[in-house]
Structure formats: C-alpha cells, structure tokens
C-alpha cells in the first residue's frame, strides 16, 4: 500500500512524488491521461525553483537541458526599451533563471519515479479526508493524499468545497518556432491590451507567447490572428511569426484561483495549481509547485503535521499570486493615456529598484 497517494501527474504531482521518494516513502501517482507528457511550450524556471530542484537531486539534469536566460526586459511594440534587467546583476543577487521545454522537465521528473508508481488512465472522482481516493479503477488509500490535479481539482472539494477559477480578462497563445536566423536575446513587448514574448530554447528553437484582452471563450484565428495582431511589431517578432510555418499554436484563456483559506484538511494537502493557480505574468506557477513539493515532503517526514505546510506555503503563494495578477492588470492596459503613463513610469524606474523588487519571490530557501 502506498504511503502517499498523489492525484495528478503534472509538474506538481511528479515533483511531489520525487520529493517523497527521496524521503523513503512509497508513492502512487494517479493520472487521468493515458501518458505523462506536457504541452508543447517553453517554461521559465527562476532561481527559487532551481533550488527546489536541487533539493530533489535534479537541478543539474534540468540545467543541462536548458538555456540560461541572458539580458531581458520589457519593450514597447516598436522595440524601445521600457525596462532592462542586467543579467549579471540578477545572477549575482539571486542566481540565473533558465528557459527549457516543458516536456524536458516532465521527462526528467518522470524518469526519477519507478514506473510501477505511475498509474495512467486513472481518473479520480473524489478524495476523502480519511485518506481514501475513489477513482475509475477502484479506490486507493494512503496515510496522505496530495491533490496535484490542477486548477479544476476534484481533490480540492474535500478541502474547501467548490471554488471557481476566475477569468483574468485575457487569453494566451503559445508556440515553438524554428527560426530562419538564430535568436539569442529574449524579452517581452507590451502594447495596448496585448503582449508578445520570446525566448530561445537549448536546441535553437524559440518559444513564443502572446496575450490579448478578450472575453472568455472568444474564437481564435490561430497563427493568422497572431500575424495580424503582432506582424507589425519590432523584429524579431514578425520574422518569428513568418518562420512559424504550420507550428502548433496552443491557445488558453487565462484563469487563476481566488486565495484559498487553507491547502489542507485531514490527510489531504493541495499542491501546485490545485492550491494556488496564478496568472502566468511572473512565470512562477510551476516554480511554486516545485517549492510546494519539497516543503510538503519535509513537513510530512518531520512530524506529519500538515498545518505546518499550510502555514509555510499559504502566505507566500498568496503574495506571489496577488503580484502576478497586479502585473497582468498593468501589462494588459489598453486605454491609450493609461498605456502612455505606464510606459513613462516603467522607463523611469531605476534598474536597482527593479532588481530589489524580485527579492521576496526569488530569495526563497528550502
């Protein structure tokens, strides 16, 4: 019998499984998909997440498949810098962020878990505070149950009832492009109610993402819409969109969760998006799931007091989710005088102030 039943085999569930295995506990991961994979897109991992991966013994394997992020910043649609981050100073203060393909991170996490601990094609219907999990293949039970089943978690119902995700007011596209000319820099450009970002991956391909304000559920024209919206922005954005050929374009309306009062009930703990799905503006959703994993395994093996996990993770993830939402509100401004004021203010912020503002998020130690 497993000691820990983990519902969900995404980044949060897999990382939690690795964290418990390293503490010598038996785990079972229940994943509804037939295969454990990730969507075809990039992922930025900040130094706080890399410290969590180091605790899991996987930091170097992840770094080996990633690109260290260099100079970055925010531009306007013409390419004029609004803010710039000095990569050397960032590295000296906190360590370097990296960019990698999501599938690589999932592959590394999955490879650290014995195959018999991973049960795919199993959909969980209910989790109970006594440690029972009801699913499509019967039931499982453990000393602890981890809800790592994402923003629409069913496990969460046993912790805090029905909590509805909130639409953030904008949608996101993601794609991976093989450029005609190498792209070595990275960054994000802000317009009026729209943004476009790009970052090179280790194999020379480039991860691109874009956002635009629109009602939830609006139909999208895929690549044609991206070209219409962003084809007139600064280079290399038009070149990347021209090189995209028939690249698969992922499109998701962006939701987050209102702050939960608690992540734990009885034998159940929530991790990752099930606990604190956040807008992606800080690139911290998966990073926080990795932190959750190491803290939860530490707390459980220390004395099993899940409320200690709640006390440690609740305030931090709430702070980061709130920040991420606020940044999105500024980044997605569309009223022209508001955009002009935003851009002027951003240009006026000294680099040193910017750098210090990262501290509460990036200074995390396990």
Q: Where are the alpha helices (DSSP H) in 36-179?
A: 47-55, 59-64, 87-94, 102-111, 156-160
Minimum Å gap between C-beta 29 and ligand FAD is 9
Sites of contact with ligand FAD (CB under 6 A): 7-13, 30-33, 43-44, 123-124, 148-150, 154, 172, 174, 252, 254, 272-273, 280, 283-287, 289
In the complex with ligand FAD, which residue's Cβ is closer, 67 or 343? 67
Q: Is the peptide bond before 236 cis (omega within 30 degrees of 0)?
A: yes
* d(C-alpha 9, C-alpha 27), whole Å: 12
The minimum distance between CB 149 and ligand FAD, in angstroms, equals 4
Q: Which is nearer to ligand FAD, 317 or 343 (CB)?
A: 317
Cβ closest to ligand FAD, residue 13 vs residue 142? 13
In whole angstroms, the minimum distance from the beta carbon of 350 to ligand FAD comes to 26
Please identify, using beta-carbon distances, which residue of 154 and 163 lies nearer to ligand FAD.
154
Nearest CA to 29 among 49, 4, 54, 64?
4
- Distance between CA atoms of residues 62 and 75, nearest Å: 29
For residue 19 the two structure tokens come to: 């964290």
Of 47 and 283, nearer to ligand FAD (C-beta) is 283
Report CA 344 to chain centroid distance, whole Å: 29
Shortest distance in whole angstroms from residue 344 CB to ligand FAD: 28
Beta strand 138-141 with 166-177 is: unpaired
Least Cβ distance, residue 8 to ligand FAD (angstroms): 3
Burial 265-287, CB ≥16 within 10 A → b, else e = bebbbbbbbbbbbbbbbbbbbbb
In the bound state with ligand FAD, the residue whose beta carbon lies nearer, of 332 and 343, is 332
In the sheet that holds 124-127, the strands lie side by side as: 124-127, 132-135, 138-141
Quote the least distance from Cβ 182 to ligand FAD, whole Å. 22
């Amino acid at each position: 019998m497993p000691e820990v039943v983990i519902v969900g085999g995404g980044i949060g569930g897999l990382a939690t499984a690795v964290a418990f295995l390293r503490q010598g506990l038996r785990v079972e991961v229940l994943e509804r998909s037939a295969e454990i994979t990730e969507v075809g897109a990039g992922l930025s991992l900040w130094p706080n997440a890399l410290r969590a991966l180091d605790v899991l013994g996987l930091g170097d394997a992840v770094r080996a498949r990633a690109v260290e992020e260099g100079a970055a910043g925010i531009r306007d649609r013409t390419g004029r810098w609004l803010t710039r981050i000095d990569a050397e100073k960032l590295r000296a203060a906190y360590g370097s962020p990296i960019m990698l393909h999501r599938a690589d991170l999932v592959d590394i996490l999955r490879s650290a878990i014995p195959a018999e601990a991973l049960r795919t094609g199993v959909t969980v219907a209910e989790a109970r505070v006594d440690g029972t999990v009801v699913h499509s293949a019967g039931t499982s039970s453990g000393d602890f149950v981890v809800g790592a089943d994402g923003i629409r978690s069913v496990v969460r119902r046993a912790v805090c009832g029905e909590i509805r995700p909130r639409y953030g007011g904008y949608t996101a596209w993601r794609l991976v492009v093989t450029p005609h000319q190498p792209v070595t820099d990275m960054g994000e450009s802000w317009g009026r109610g729209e943004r476009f970002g790009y970052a090179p991956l280790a194999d020379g391909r480039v991860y691109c993402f874009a956002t635009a304000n629109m009602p939830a559920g609006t139909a999208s024209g895929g690549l044609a819409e991206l070209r219409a919206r962003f084809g007139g922005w600064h280079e290399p954005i038009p070149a990347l969109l021209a090189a995209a050929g028939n690249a698969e374009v992922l499109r998701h309306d962006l939701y987050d969760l209102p702050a939960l009062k608690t992540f734990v009930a009885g034998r159940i703990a929530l991790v990752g998006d099930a606990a604190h799905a956040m807008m992606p503006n800080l690139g911290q959703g998966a990073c926080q799931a990795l932190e959750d994993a190491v803290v939860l395994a530490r707390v459980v093996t220390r004395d099993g007091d899940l409320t200690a996990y709640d006390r440690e993770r609740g305030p931090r993830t709430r702070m980061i989710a709130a920040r991420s939402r606020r940044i999105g509100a500024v980044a997605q401004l569309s009223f022209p005088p508001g955009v002009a004021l935003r851009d002027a203010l951003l240009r006026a912020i000294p680099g040193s102030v910017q750098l210090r503002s990262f501290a509460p998020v990036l200074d995390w130690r396990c």
